[in-house]
Amino acid sequence: MPRFAANLSMLFTEQDFLDRFAAAAEAGFTGVEYLFPYDYPAEEIKARLDANGLTQVLFNLPAGDWAGGDRGIAIFPERVEEFRAGVDQAIAYAKVLGNTQVNCLAGIRPQGADEAAVERTFVENLRYAAEKLQAAGIRLVMEMINTRDIPRFYLNTTRQALAIRDKVGHPNLYLQYDIYHMQIMEGDLARTIESNLAAINHVQLADNPGRNEPGTGEINYRFLFEHLDRVGYQGWIGCEYKPATTTAAGLGWMKAHNVI
């Protein structure tokens, strides 16, 4: 059975962020991920990880003004210096937290944008980040996101991500495969994962529709968990879902699937 990490940006939100680490450990999780660590001192987060025996699995590169609507800045030619500064900030946090992979959110395509310039900027930024992160012993992943939840998000499908990866041409760039997003955008989950396993370094989950816990929607998670074992997936699965009620009430899927 794969290893599961609690996404603390979406789970245990009944508690303050720093208290969610203990809640995750108590629920049986051995790893955690979240959107961003940057609002807290790295040493304070590290203390919570250590106190609860948790592995820091993943967080995102700085993604701009999240509250203001940014969902990544990697595609914007006018924000390259901001992106590069964010890479340095992510490395500094990752070194303290023991984090060995970070995710790059591409961003929302502006209306009327020059498509060639957007793609060129994204490729160059990914190449820069992949090189810098590799020197620090950290893997870079990029995430495909559905355009229903985030209209005009730039990176939408596995095929597009693989084409971008080829253009970047750096060995330290992988895919983050979110089952929920890809069920909406392309389906054919098991075959796509198996065919591209070498390029996938992180998986996330939520059911569809609703983006709630496994077992609330159409996705056959029992089959997918067994399939990931069969094909030899060695990474973590981030539980990035919105609990239908409370986090604790929605954790029954873990016992049902023998996760804990």
Q: Give the catalytic positions in this structure.
A: 143, 240
Judge contact between 44 and 54, C-beta under 8 A.
no
Amino acid letter, 176: Q
d(CA 5, CA 174): 19
